[in-house]
Amino acid sequence: ATCAGAGADGCINCTEGYFMEDGRCVQSCSISYYFDHSSENGYKSCKKCDTSCLTCNGPGFKNCTSCPSGYLLDLGMCQMGAICKDATEESWAEGGFCMLVKKNNL
């Protein structure tokens, strides 16, 4: 590794098999980080997920793979738990998608 200073968080570049994550060299990306395939600056790195995601597989709010408590994953985005507010029949969210269910057909 090439370092700018002492300590585990002073790295500028990492040796083969390691990725840069907030100035540290890691073997795999931490939770709430994703592997950046672009290798900008000539090295592979882990970048922080969007603040709306718990985990993700890419940048921005449309690449979430899981959500914080109280949020539901819907097409890669974390939505507030009450996404079925426009439903007229009894409804709830299942797997992030709004499901309308008639009371007689449960």
pLDDT digits (tens, 9 = 90+) for 55-99: 999 999 999 999 998 899 999 999 887 545 555 444 444 444 454
What's residue 74's pLDDT? 92
Top-confidence residue, 105 or 23: 23
Q: CA dist 98 to 2, 6, 27, 35, Å?
A: 50, 52, 39, 31
The CA R_g of the chain, rounded to the nearest whole Å, is 20
CA pair distance 35, 2, nearest whole angstrom = 20
Would you say how long the chain is, in residues? 106
Structure tokens belonging to residue 77: 């985005």
Topology at the third CATH level for domain 2-81: 2.10.220
Tell me which residue has tokens 């793979």: 65
